[in-house]
């Protein structure tokens, strides 16, 4: 019976082979993510594609400060979401697995003092199904509108039922300003500012109604828009997942006048005026009005202007207060408005009952 023994050279070769295989496995299993970038100071966005990965963090980033503390850096310890981690030292490797790995990372000195903190947000591949917002009836995530041409607009959204989040970042610009735009958050006033050579936007967030309100301070309502507005809203969840949703438009495409004020002059004449919020002078920003005269009133309808059958519908354009003689058999009348020049949205209907009951008079007063 013969025995074969490995030589020292063969043993060293096998060790080198095993080491190479292990290193290759680790390299494949824990790759550096595709990219990462700073959203705001101390907020890092890490893009992942579903594979395992690592993202390095540094506690003390300035070389001179690191040299000053010397060996004390070995006593630095880390916490993730308030829970102490096993890793020690100035560097920390965030383990990434699919959408996991995000969190609030803090580093502390040996005595427990806070040295630095980084919030890591995970951004998944945009080709995957969106998870935070849901589409509206027009198959879009953001719904934007403006009451006039003064440069102010609003964008709203709907959270996914199981993933209600918060706004993490807002970027508003004219399309041509992409390279020069600078955005920041005034933490005191919670006002987002985006400025460039050609535009100056300010935005606020209203979490109660799930919308943002923005104003282009350099917009001139009397000049034609040469570049559309591009708005991007970054939203994050409690699981530190972040997604961005964008929309671009001209103000003329999203303008929607407020409801007109309508009153009854006498038994056969009604009068309405431009919404107070509409741009002036009205001769430069004219509105077209649609008048619907109703044969009867639908008492159980949610909206009698849309649920009732109109006897006649008339289009009127006027730069001033408008008066209109109604059909003698009409029981109610509805009026709405839209921009007379651009093909924009209609306002909501204003309803006026032509009957004389106390209930209808109270309803007409509320409409006005």
- Express each pLDDT in 249-285 by its tens digit: 999 999 999 999 999 888 889 999 999 999 999 999 9
The topology under which CATH files domain 261-353 is Immunoglobulin-like (2.60.40)
Which pLDDT score is estimated for 33? 57
Q: What is the pLDDT of residues 172-196, one digit of tens each?
A: 999 876 677 889 888 777 899 999 8
Q: Looking at residue 337, what is its pLDDT? A: 95
The three state secondary structure string of the chain is CCCCCCCHHHHHHHHHHHHHHHHHHHHHHCECCCEEEEEECCEEEEECCCCCEEEEEECCCCHHHHHHHHHHHHHCEEEECCEEEEEECCEEEEEEECCECCEEEEEECCCCCEEEEEEEEEECCCCCCCCCEECCCCCCCCEEEECCCCCEEEEECEEECCECCEEEEEEEEEHHHCCCCEEEEECCCCEEEEECCCCEEEEEEECCCCEEEEEECCCCCCCCCCCCEEEEEEEECCCCEEEEEEEEECHHHHECCCCCEEEECCCCEEEEECCCCCCCCCCCCCEEEEEEEECCCCCCCCCHHHHCCEEEEEEEEECCCEEEECCCCCCEEEEEEEECCCCCCCCCCEEEECCCCHHHHHHHHHHC
Which of the four pLDDT bands, split at 50, 70 and 90, describes residue 364? very low
In this prediction, residues 305-333 reach a mean pLDDT of 80
How many whole angstroms separate alpha carbon 185 and alpha carbon 101? Answer: 26
With 90 as the cut, is the pLDDT of residue 118 above it? yes
Reported as a single tens digit per residue, the pLDDT across 38-84 is 999 999 999 988 788 899 999 988 777 777 777 777 889 999 999 99
Residue 2 binned pLDDT confidence (cut-offs 50, 70, 90): very low
Neighbours of 63 (CB within 10 A): 8
Q: Which range has highest mean pLDDT (65-69, 197-201, 355-359)?
A: 197-201
pLDDT of res. 212: 95
| Exposure of 40 in the CB half-sphere (CA atoms within 13 A) | 16
Residues in the chain: 368
Q: Say if pTM beats, i.e. exceeds, 0.85.
A: no
Give the integer Cα–Cα distance in Å for 259 and 302.
17
Asked if the model's pLDDT at residue 156 lies above 90, the reply is yes
Least trusted range by pLDDT, from 62-76, 195-209, 348-362: 348-362
Residue 304: band (very low, low, confident or very high) from pLDDT cuts 50, 70, 90: confident
Domains of the chain, by residue range, sit at 35-124, 133-253, 261-353
Quote the pLDDT of residue 100.
Answer: 86
Distance CA 340, CA 284 (A): 10
Is pLDDT above 70 for 346?
yes
Beta partners for 40?
Answer: 43
CA–CA dist 246, 230 (Å, integer) = 7
Indicate if the alpha-carbon torsion angle 82, 85, 90, 92 is positive or negative: negative
What percentage of the chain carries pLDDT values higher than 90? 49
pLDDT at 163: 83
Q: How many CA atoms lie within 13 A of 118 on its CB side?
A: 25
End-to-end CA distance of the chain: 109
Confidence of residue 207 (pLDDT cuts 50, 70, 90): confident
CA-to-CA distance for 323 and 305, rounded, in angstroms? 19
Q: How far apart are CA 314 and CA 161, in angstroms?
A: 43
The pLDDT value recorded for residue 32 is 60
Give the rounded distance of the alpha carbon of 42 from its chain centre.
Answer: 21
- What CATH number matches the domain at 35-124, 3.20.20.140, 2.60.40.10, 2.40.50.140, 1.10.3720.10? 2.60.40.10
pLDDT at 318: 78
Mean pLDDT of all residues in the chain?
83
More confident residue, 254 or 35: 254
Lowest mean pLDDT among 27-31, 138-142, 324-328: 27-31
Do 35-124 and 261-353 share a fold?
yes
With a cut of 50, say whether residue 298 has pLDDT above it: yes
More confident residue, 209 or 277: 277
Residue 11 predicted with pLDDT over 80: no
Tokens 């496995």 identify what position?
Answer: 25
Contact 306, 290 (CB under 8 A): no
Task: Please tell me the predicted confidence (pLDDT) of residue 242.
Answer: 94
Instruction: Please determine, for residue 292, whether its predicted confidence score (pLDDT) is greater than 60.
Output: yes
Class of domain 133-253 (CATH, top level):
mainly beta
- Cβ distance 148 to 277 under 8 Å? yes
């Amino acid at each position: 019976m013969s025995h074969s023994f490995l030589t020292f050279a063969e043993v060293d070769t096998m060790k080198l082979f095993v080491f190479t295989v292990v290193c290759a496995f680790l390299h494949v299993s824990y790759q550096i993510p595709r990219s990462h970038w700073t959203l705001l100071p101390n907020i890092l966005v890490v893009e992942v594609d579903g594979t395992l990965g690592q993202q390095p963090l540094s506690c003390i980033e300035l070389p001179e400060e690191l040299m000053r503390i010397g060996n004390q850096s070995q006593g630095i310890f880390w916490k993730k979401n308030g829970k102490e981690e096993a890793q020690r030292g100035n560097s920390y490797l965030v383990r990434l697995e699919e959408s996991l790995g995000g969190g609030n990372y803090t580093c502390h000195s040996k005595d427990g003092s806070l040295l630095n903190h980084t919030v890591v947000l995970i951004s998944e591949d945009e080709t995957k199904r969106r998870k935070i917002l849901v589409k509206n009836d027009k198959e879009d995530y953001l719904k934007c509108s403006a009451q006039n041409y003064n440069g102010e607009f609003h964008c709203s959204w709907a959270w996914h039922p199981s993933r209600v989040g918060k706004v993490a970042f807002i970027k508003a610009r004219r399309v041509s300003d992409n390279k020069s735009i600078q955005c920041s958050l005034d933490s005191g006033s919670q006002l987002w500012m985006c400025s460039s050579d050609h535009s100056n936007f300010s935005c606020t967030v209203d979490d109660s109604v799930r919308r943002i309100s923005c104003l282009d301070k350099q917009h001139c309502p009397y000049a034609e828009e040469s570049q559309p507005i591009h708005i991007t809203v970054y939203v994050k969840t409690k699981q530190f997942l972040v997604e961005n949703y964008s929309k671009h438009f001209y103000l003329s495409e999203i303008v929607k006048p407020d409801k007109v004020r309508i009153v009854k002059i006498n038994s056969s004449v009604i009068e309405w005026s431009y919404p107070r919020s509409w741009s002036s002078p009205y001769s430069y920003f004219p509105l077209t009005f649609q008048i619907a005269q109703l044969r009867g009133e639908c008492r159980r309808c949610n909206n009698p202007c849309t649920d009732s059958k109109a006897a006649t519908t008339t289009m009127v354009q006027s730069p001033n207060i408008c008066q209109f003689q109604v059909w003698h058999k009409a029981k109610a009348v509805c009026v709405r408005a839209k921009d007379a020049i651009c093909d924009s949205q209609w306002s909501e209907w204003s309803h006026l009952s032509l009957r004389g009951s106390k209930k209808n008079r109270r309803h007409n007063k509320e409409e006005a």
